[in-house]
């Protein structure tokens, strides 16, 4: 008796579901094995931190997506100490030595490299700031550095003063009414930025309109956070590719088109004035190392993105009335050189930058194959010093959450403060090229505002802190202030004598 043979081509029931189940089981086993490896066998397993952060990068990604990762990492440092593992392959440091080991000058064969992450601009392969090539970065930096030197800033002082004067006049027109001081300072900085990059202001103060290009620059900084998030996961990478594929060309070409158009206009103006138009608006003045046209465009975009937000973020509107108003006899005496010598003003800026750093997170570095020695240990992974965590670490600062400029002036109460754990503009060959300009602008803004106005914080801005962060920037809400013009004592005394004299005549 013969057995019946099943017809060819007919599937045995349950084969596909069984295959799917096997794949699912294998995936679960793989994930479980990966988690166990991360927790107990990974080279970073000995470092403290929450288990959920060590097991998977999803925890860090969650806080990054919410815009609170900088605050969360700060909390972890206060709980676990100066070294925290906040991802399977990432360590955060709050340590003076870590700045030197991670960001300091090192030989090319042993130096820690800038981590290749998400793009900020369509042309970032040439970019000054995220460029992972030391050779390319150093060449571009040498070109732009003279414009940000002490001499370069002094040469631009007249323009800086003019923009601040325009700000004071605009605010005087609105005295007595609530104004968003952050918005007005951003407008002032943007006009100076336009002058610096393209040879003319954006017209933000004159038109009371923030330039669209700087809205786009700010959006690029915020998008960086999400690009970092997407590139950690396969689905995120696929989504990024799809988005790039279907993004209209006009959107991707916004920065290049804007820069090319304005550099062309600048070239024409320089030609009419006898210039050659080959510089990034005097940024590379004093050096024979010129840029190629595409590099000029890229550096211009970099300067707009870097300058659009971070210069103004650090300001703290505390009472400097005594020092500012007693040191100078007139507003015209407030030169950049004179302001640089004001000890209390500098202490206020240092304390402001400690509590509210211009960039809340970190510029990550990746150790070389085989690892690099950081704080005495061989580390084979991604590392960084988080600016917010460094300034808010309870082990490093007495009265850590209090705004006390005196801690920077040698007060014995704060002699144990570890001031070396904060470096406002980073250290090493990739530190902030524009730090001299940033400090000059902050001193000038604060001093002239306090010279001209008494300021009162509006009720709606009394809980201004706690805003979302996006790696290198903040989602700042309006900072509403009421400004009242200062009545100079000499004027008040003259007025009093005038009234008395009028009374005597009647």
Percent of the chain with pLDDT over 70: 68
Of 471 and 368, more confident:
368
Q: What pLDDT digit, counting tens, does each position of 221-253 carry?
A: 677 667 777 677 666 667 666 766 655 555 455
Q: Does residue 316 surpass a pLDDT of 70?
A: no
Q: Identify whether 409 is part of a domain.
A: no
Q: What pLDDT digit, counting tens, does each position of 395-410 carry?
A: 999 999 988 888 999 9
Q: What pLDDT digit, counting tens, does each position of 73-121 carry?
A: 999 999 999 999 999 999 999 999 999 999 886 543 334 554 443 333 3
3-state DSSP percent of the chain in helix, strand and coil, to 5? 55, 10, 35
Q: Does residue 325 surpass a pLDDT of 80?
A: yes
Q: Domain tally for the chain?
A: 1
pLDDT band at 149 (very low <50, low <70, confident <90, very high): confident
Q: Identify whether 485 is part of a domain.
A: yes
pLDDT at 107: 40
Q: Identify whether 278 is part of a domain.
A: yes
Q: Whose structure tokens read 């943007």?
A: 190
The reply to whether 375 sits in an annotated binding site is no
Q: Identify whether 42 is part of a domain.
A: no
Rounded to an integer, the average pLDDT of 426-446 is 86
What contacts 278, CB < 8 A, 6 or more positions away? 290, 291
**DSSP helix/strand/coil, 83:** strand
Q: Identify whether 466 is part of a domain.
A: yes
The pTM (predicted TM-score) of the whole model is: 0.78
Sign of the alpha-carbon dihedral angle for 367, 373, 379, 384:
negative
Mean pLDDT is lowest, of 39-53, 267-281, 440-454, 456-470, for 267-281
Q: Identify whether 189 is part of a domain.
A: yes
Q: What is the CATH number of the domain that holds 304?
A: 1.10.630.10
What is the extent of the structural domain holding 152?
Answer: 119-363+426-505
Q: Identify whether 236 is part of a domain.
A: yes
Q: Identify whether 190 is part of a domain.
A: yes
**DSSP helix/strand/coil, 99:** helix
Q: Does residue 144 surpass a pLDDT of 70?
A: yes
Cα→Cα distances 336→186, 240, 318, 405, 448, Å: 20, 45, 20, 21, 11
Per the CB < 8 A criterion, the answer to whether 201 and 195 are in contact is: yes
Please provide the average confidence, as pLDDT, over all residues in the chain: 77
Q: Does residue 129 surpass a pLDDT of 80?
A: no
């Amino acid at each position: 008796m013969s057995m019946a043979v099943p017809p060819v081509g007919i599937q045995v029931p349950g084969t596909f579901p069984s295959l799917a189940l096997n794949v699912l089981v294998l995936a679960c086993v793989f994930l479980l094995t990966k988690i166990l490896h991360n927790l107990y066998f990974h080279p970073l397993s000995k470092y403290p931190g929450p288990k959920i952060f060590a097991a998977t990068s999803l925890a860090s990604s969650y806080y990054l997506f919410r815009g609170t990762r900088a605050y969360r990492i700060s909390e972890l440092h206060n709980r676990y100490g100066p070294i925290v593992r906040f991802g399977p392959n990432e360590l955060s440091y709050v340590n003076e030595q870590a700045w030197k080991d991670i960001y300091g000058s090192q030989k090319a064969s042993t130096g820690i490299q800038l981590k290749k992450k998400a793009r900020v601009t369509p042309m970032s392969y040439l970019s000054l700031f995220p460029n992972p090539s030391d050779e390319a970065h150093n060449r571009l930096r040498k070109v732009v550095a003279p414009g940000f030197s002490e001499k370069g800033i002094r040469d631009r002082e007249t323009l800086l003063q003019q923009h601040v004067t325009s700000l004071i006049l605009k605010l005087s027109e609105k005295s007595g009414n609530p104004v968003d001081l952050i918005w007005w300072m951003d407008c002032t900085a943007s006009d100076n930025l336009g002058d610096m990059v393209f040879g003319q202001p954006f017209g933000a103060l004159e038109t009371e309109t923030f330039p669209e290009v700087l809205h786009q620059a700010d959006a690029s900084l915020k998008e960086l956070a999400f690009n970092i998030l997407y590139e950690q996961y396969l689905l995120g990478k696929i989504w990024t590719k799809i988005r790039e594929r279907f993004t209209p060309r006009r959107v991707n070409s916004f920065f290049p088109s804007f820069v090319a158009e304005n550099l062309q206009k600048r070239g024409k103006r320089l030609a009419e004035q006898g210039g050659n138009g080959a510089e990034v608006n005097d940024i590379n003045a004093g050096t024979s190392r010129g840029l190629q046209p595409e590099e000029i465009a890229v550096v211009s975009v970099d300067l707009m993105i870097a300058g659009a937000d971070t210069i103004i973020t650090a300001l703290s509107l505390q009472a400097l009335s005594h020092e500012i108003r007693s040191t100078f006899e007139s507003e015209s005496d407030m030169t950049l050189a004179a302001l640089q010598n004001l000890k209390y003003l500098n202490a206020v800026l240092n304390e402001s930058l400690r509590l509210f750093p211009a960039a809340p997170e970190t510029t990550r570095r990746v150790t070389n194959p085989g690892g690099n020695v950081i704080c005495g240990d061989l580390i084979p992974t991604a590392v960084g010093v988080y600016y917010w965590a460094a300034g808010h670490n309870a082990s490093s600062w007495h009265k850590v959450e209090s705004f006390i400029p005196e801690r920077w002036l040698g007060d014995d109460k704060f002699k144990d403060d570890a001031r070396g754990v904060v470096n406002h503009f980073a250290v090493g060959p990739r530190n902030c090229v524009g730090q001299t300009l940033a400090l000059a602008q902050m001193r000038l803004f604060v001093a002239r505002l306090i010279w001209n106005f008494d300021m009162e914080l509006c009720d709606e801005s009394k809980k201004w802190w706690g805003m979302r962060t996006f790696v290198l920037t903040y989602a700042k809400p309006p900072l509403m202030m009421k400004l009242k013009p200062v009545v100079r004592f000499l004027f008040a005394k003259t007025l009093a004598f005038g009234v008395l004299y009028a009374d005597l005549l009647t």
